[in-house]
Structure 1
Amino acid sequence: MIMDLSKQVKIALDYIQSIDVSDIDDTSEAGRIFYEKFIPMAGEEETIYKIENLEVPSFEQTINIRIYRPSNEKELPVVIYFHGGWFNAGGLESHDRPLRKLANLSGAIIISVDYRLAPEYPFPTGLNDCYNALEWIILHAKMLGIDLKRLAIAGDSAGAALATVITRRAIQNNLNKILCQLLVYPVTDASLKTPSWQEFKDGPVLNYEGAVQAWNLYLPNIKEIENPDASPLYSDELSDMPSTLMIIAEYDPLRDEAILYAEKLQKSGVAVKQLLYKGMVHGFFQMGGIIDDGNRAIEETAQFLIQNFNK
């Protein structure tokens, strides 16, 4: 396919192409450092009222969360956010700048969860960390100053897969009402058989070979490929899911599985707003310092949150 790439997208892709981690022998570590080097593409750090780092329990140890507080108001709405990175990279720093902006624009507390990563911690460890974090946040809502009647779950890429599975699990367990979910170019299908995976098998940003490696690290048991907790597209229990915003990039191998998941939610009676960003590549949500549509996606996400929080 001939891609009509804007000047801004070309600059971002050239920047990614220039990242060199060839001196790092450990492939997992190299991949994580490579991904962390995306951070400057998000632009400058926005000032925010308060940021707090906490440790929360998960399976007889602790994981880190970062709380972005946009003001000193009490009983603020809250968004629990799970970062992308193919289940094996990313963390609190990789998404710090977009989340500062999202908190400021939405007026909501954003809580970023630093779940454990593959291959050291394959499926379902990271997923269970995310659910444990949700349980802890709900239990400590008063201390955190959040309004549990205005709770949203969000994530990008692999983090969006975690987000929607956590939302479904919370509903099934009657844990707390989830007002809405925000899914940014979500991973939904481990089979990698959609047409967009063939169309963009060589990229940009993601490629088929890297996807196979990522799924093998996260999901070493081949029998789990159609497990809906790993591949949300295979879930048939979606009718109670909340209002959903789906952000999709046109030139992204994940495009079609995101669209298929949006359609499946809609067929289950879920209100879904799809935003297809023409000419965009995977990861553009984190590239607002270079790509204007990265900031626009954060702004439209904030507007969706405000609309749902004010119903």
Structure 2
Amino acid sequence: MKEQVILKAVGLLPESFFSLCYGFKPVVIDGQRLDSKARLLCDIDRKNATPVRDTPLETTRANLERLSGALSGPRPRLHSVTDIDIPTDIGPLPARLYKPTSDRSLPALVYYHGGGYIRGSLDRHDGLCARLAKYGGFAVLSIDYRLAPEARFPAAVDDAIAAFRWAVHHGADQGLDPKRVAVGGDSSGGCLAAAVAQQVKAAQGGAPAFQMLLYPTLDAHLSADSYKLFEDGFFLTYERIRDYRDMYLNNAAERDDVRASPILNPDLAGLPPALIITAGFDPLRDEAESYGKALQSAGVNVGIVRFPAMVHGFMSMTAILPQAEKAVRQAAEALSHVFRGESL
């Protein structure tokens, strides 16, 4: 409760106030200056964090859910928000459908939340998904895929593919346009979106119209230079990423599987256009941008946008960080352009 009150107060004060509070000693790494509000969030996180492997899983999940509302703010008003179940071979898959209008054939974004494959939920990403729907004018189908370690790799990928295929083949029953279905996600959800695009292409079935990859994790080997630059102290740490990965994968050999490491796929030609948004102070920054360049080299239309003063997960912090609102609008508008048949 105390943290929630503090976060709400932080959201009401200008960034310049926190710049003064920190004195005139900005955090500058790799030519980037860390936003002062983001820096305060990192400091709060650092003081309260415990190693993932030493924390009960229920506590790890509950901590994320507890702060989500204070970070993202209230859900914007939409035409409708409906919880549904998607039938799959292993049982119903919970999902939440956001509709900005009453149109009967809305283009749709199938969205996979972040959380390191071990946490995150429909509620945790409620604000982000609602804003994407509102600003883009398309429906968002948020997927509550199975989490590790109860369901390890490739369960989440299987659920992600099943959800996309359901949207294409049965989404019309929910007022969706089956010819205009995109995939997207943040962090681990971004990896799932990239994997869906690759796997559906390989199976030659109903490719997504677009990939919205928000600071995605794309290489389970964790070898990019940004892991060293931002190893600790910037919200997402190398230690957390490693622990998330090890709770998700069954063994080290699976790090080479392109469903866990989409960046290792040698055949990226023919994939749908993509927008990749990264944060400057994020261990995942370099691998995401490298993937974008690899897509471009393969002839894919890709936009790569870095928010240099931000940290991992910032787009779910719209109540605190003004740059988050800007990034959400930019992502939504990019997809809206594609749905209208326009270029990025």
| TM-score, normalised relative to structure 1 | 0.94
5 Å matches for 1:86-105?
86-105=116-135
Quote the Cα distance in structure 2 between the aligned partners of 1:10 and 1:203.
9
Quote the Cα distance in structure 2 between the aligned partners of 1:147 and 1:196.
39
Tell me which residue corresponds to 1:51.
81
CA positional deviation for 1:95: 0.3
Q: Deviations over 1:183-215 (max 9, x none)?
A: 000101111111110111113111111111111
Secondary structure of 1:34's aligned partner: helix
Tell me which residue corresponds to 2:59.
30
- Asked whether the equivalents of residues 203 and 253 of structure 1 are also in contact (C-alpha less than 8 Å), the reply is no
Which of 286, 289, 298 is the equivalent residue of 1:259?
289
Tell me which residue corresponds to 1:196.
226
* Cα gap change, 1:18 to 1:74, in 2 (>3 Å): farther
Which of 139, 158, 162 is the equivalent residue of 1:128?
158
Tell me which residue corresponds to 2:107.
77
Query: In structure 2, what residue type is equivalent to 1:303?
Result: E
Q: Deviations over 1:53-85 (max 9, x none)?
A: 111223332220100011101111100000000
Instruction: Using the TM superposition, name which of 222-231 and 200-209 deviates more.
Output: 200-209
Unpaired segments ≥5 residues, structure 2: 1-26
Quote the Cα distance in structure 1 between the aligned partners of 2:256 and 2:40.
37
- Asked whether the equivalents of residues 155 and 163 of structure 1 are also in contact (C-alpha less than 8 Å), the reply is yes
- Asked whether the equivalents of residues 150 and 309 of structure 1 are also in contact (C-alpha less than 8 Å), the reply is yes
Report whether the alignment pairs 1:6 with 2:6: no
CA positional deviation for 1:136: 1.8
Tell me which residue corresponds to 1:234.
264
CA positional deviation for 1:219: 0.8
5 Å matches for 1:81-230?
81-230=111-260
Count matched residues: 309
The CA RMSD over aligned residues, in Å, is 1.8
CA positional deviation for 1:17: 4.6
* Cα gap change, 1:259 to 1:145, in 2 (>3 Å): same
Q: Deviations over 1:206-230 (max 9, x none)?
A: 1111111111111121111111110
Tell me which residue corresponds to 2:9.
none
CA positional deviation for 1:94: 0.7
Tell me which residue corresponds to 1:292.
322
Quote the Cα distance in structure 2 between the aligned partners of 1:73 and 1:296.
26
- Asked whether the equivalents of residues 149 and 177 of structure 1 are also in contact (C-alpha less than 8 Å), the reply is no
Quote the Cα distance in structure 1 between the aligned partners of 2:244 and 2:96.
25
Tell me which residue corresponds to 1:247.
277
- Asked whether the equivalents of residues 247 and 276 of structure 1 are also in contact (C-alpha less than 8 Å), the reply is yes
CA positional deviation for 1:149: 2.1
CA positional deviation for 1:273: 0.4
Please tell me whether Structure 1 or Structure 2 has the larger radius of gyration of its CA atoms: 2
Secondary structure of 2:256's aligned partner: coil
Quote the Cα distance in structure 2 between the aligned partners of 1:284 and 1:202.
17
Unpaired segments ≥5 residues, structure 1: none
* Cα gap change, 1:14 to 1:46, in 2 (>3 Å): farther
State the percentage of identical aligned residues: 32
| TM-score, normalised relative to structure 2 | 0.86
Tell me which residue corresponds to 1:305.
335
